[in-house]
């Protein structure tokens, strides 16, 4: 984007439209087969009463927490790694990691432990060649850049990492919509599982 265009981003409406246009353009690069595979993996966990664990660092961790919240509403047995109430991961459970770079040391260790007990790994990332991505049973590869991957050819008007985090959130919300339909859950079913100690 040229300097003159950048100066117009001081206008909130222009900035909002530009962000939405970025997301619409980038979302076209998301492979629907990967989303379908991820939905299938989650549906299996639901039908077999297996646990789902979610992990991520920084802002990606917030996306993981938001997804965990929606999975609770759908009726999954869900744990956020690192929380004192999280139980042990076991064979055939699922660990979902949201990581743009796919290189975060602590997340790599979580993945290693999960795989060692026979759990499945789903990774939401933009780095298809990362160690984390390569160890996943299923991956959702998103376009964008992160703090650790700025050599990517995509240039955003937003701070580094924002597009990935937004697309990761939208991918997770897509899975929620798909799963709600596949599991034949009504909005009332989801509302019945909302927190009431707020």
The CA distance from 120 to 136, in Å, is 8
Cβ neighbours around 36 below 10 Å, total: 13
Q: Nearest-CA neighbor of 54 among 82, 92, 32, 84? A: 82
| Active-site annotation holder among 128, 165, 173, 198 | 165
Cα separation, 52 vs 70, whole angstroms: 12
Annotated catalytic residue 165 = yes
Helix, strand counts (H, E) of the chain: 8, 5
Residues acting as catalytic residues = 165
């Amino acid at each position: 984007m040229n300097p003159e265009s950048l100066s117009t981003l001081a206008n909130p409406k222009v900035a909002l439209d530009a962000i939405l246009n970025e997301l619409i353009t980038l979302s076209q690069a998301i492979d629907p087969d990967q989303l379908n595979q991820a939905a299938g993996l989650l549906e299996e966990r639901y039908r077999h009463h297996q646990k789902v664990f979610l992990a991520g660092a920084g802002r990606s961790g917030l996306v993981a927490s938001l997804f965990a919240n929606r999975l609770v509403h759908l009726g999954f047995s869900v744990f956020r790694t690192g929380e004192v109430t999280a139980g042990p991961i076991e064979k055939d459970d699922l660990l979902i990691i949201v990581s743009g770079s796919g290189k975060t040391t602590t997340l790599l260790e979580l993945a290693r432990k999960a795989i060692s007990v026979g759990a499945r790994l789903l990774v939401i990332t933009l780095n298809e060649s990362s160690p984390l991505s390569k160890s996943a049973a299923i991956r959702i590869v998103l376009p964008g850049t992160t703090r650790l991957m700025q050599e990517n050819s995509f240039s955003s008007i937003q701070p580094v990492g924002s597009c990935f985090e937004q697309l990761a959130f939208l991918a997770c919300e897509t899975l929620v919509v798909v799963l709600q339909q596949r599991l034949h859950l009504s909005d009332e079913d989801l509302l019945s599982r909302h927190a009431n100690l707020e």
